[in-house]
Homo-oligomer: A and B are copies of this chain.
Amino acid sequence: MYFDSHLHSEGLGISELKTLAENRIKEVCSLAFFPVKPKYPQTMVDVFRKLTEFEPIRCEAAGIKMYPAVGIHPRCIPPNYEFVLKYLEEGEWVAFGEIGLELVTDEEIEVLKSQLELAKKLDVPCIIHTPRGEKVKATRKTIEILNSLDFPPQLAVIDHVNFETIDMVLETEYWIGLTIQPGKLSPDDAARIVAEYGSERFMLNSDAGYRDVEIATVAAAAEKIAENVGKDEAERVARKNARKFLRL
């Protein structure tokens, strides 16, 4: 059985969720995201309610255990986002995500910092996005922010790490997310990385959502890793590490 540690179930149809289950991806972490910049902070609260109340039931109907992560993605920061932070502060959560930096603006930095401070206080694991563009700059800034907050390493995964940023992240103690998706990493890339750096720090995900056709990529990468590196390593990066990170 596999665990997809980062996808957006809200962008997937029921037949696609079933495809995940048929490919032995039986557990997923589904991350909050709203595909337009909200005009109102209230919207994010209802988006989190949909993700935590409705989506797990829909995923279960497809044969998947879904763990929701809530948070403000840098591409959908609403005005008066403090309203959202207050809601986050009052709840109990599996994880915060998707949070992080996109264009590395002052506002994004402020919102990321606030959420990390809250996560540290509440002891909540954080799934931290790094963007396609500005990847090196955003990753460097993210690490700088985490370090400045003395953020507990076991509570952060830096996600969508690629060959440009892997050395920088390996120098830290944070978890590393490998996204298997056309345009990001291939199953072969993942196998190469695990062969070279071991399986202790990595977790695989698809980032599948609103526009992705290839969704069962964690299974494909896990098989490649089992074949080229070893079964234990595959099990670790395709399931065990995610469960450990999320304290399941």
Chain A interface (Cβ < 8 Å from any Cβ of B): 11-16, 18, 34-36, 38-40, 42-43, 45-47, 49-50, 53-54, 58, 61, 210-213, 215
Contacts and interface: CB of A to CB of B under 8 A. Distances in A.
Contacts of A15: 13, 15-16, 213
A43 B61 CA distance: 26
Given A13-B12, A14-B212, A40 B36 contact: no
How many subunits of this chain does the assembly comprise? Answer: 2
Contacts of A49: 36, 39
A212 B17 CA distance: 12
Nearest to A38: B46
Contacts of A14: 11, 210-213
Nearest to A43: B46
Contact of A40 (B35, B43, B50): B43
Given A13-B12, A14-B212, A40 B46 contact: yes
10 interchain residue pairs of minimum CB distance: A13-B13, A40-B42, A43-B46, A13-B16, A42-B42, A35-B54, A12-B13, A38-B46, A43-B43, A36-B50
